[in-house]
Structure 1
Amino acid sequence: MARVLLFGRLSDLAGWREREVDAVTTLDALRAFLTSEDADLGAALAGPGVQVALDQAIVRGDAALGPRAEVAFLPPMSGG
């Protein structure tokens, strides 16, 4: 089971900030699952600048999810 966190406009778009998701073993499978539930959220997650933190470490590409993984999707940051 993965604990999924959405921040900023991603949580606004989805209508939730945190939830548990069963039966996903990789980040790619998690993205596919979330996209199957909400195509607009899936498009936003695949958008430029969105980063993923797996157990509080930024990862790129696919990665295996442990049994109690925490996955945070972070929207693009702005500022300067």
Structure 2
Amino acid sequence: MDWQGQKLAEQLMQILLLTFAVGAFTAGGAALTTLVTVPNWPFFNRHPLNWLDPSEAEKHPKQHAQKQNATVFKKKSSKK
């Protein structure tokens, strides 16, 4: 291999290593993000919501809506 061939081999090596490093970093980042966010880990369930029982919602639909509207109105007026 001559000097020009060595130079070309060195450039190709650097380009390929950089390309694969960026690809591996991206794939590793995507894999890590998926591992952290997709499973239902216990720390995602620290503050569970208490849902209204469907039978109670059917019995008192207006009362429930009035409570929600009052809460929204209080929040809006307290921001002023």
| Fold shared by both chains (TM-score > 0.5) | no
Q: Scaled by the length of structure 2, what TM-score is found?
A: 0.21
Relative to total residues, which structure has the larger helix share, 1 or 2? 2
Q: Scaled by the length of structure 1, what TM-score is found?
A: 0.21
The structure number with the bigger radius of gyration is: 2
Relative to total residues, which structure has the larger strand share, 1 or 2? 1
Higher relative CO (Cα under 8 Å, sequence separation at least 6) belongs to 1
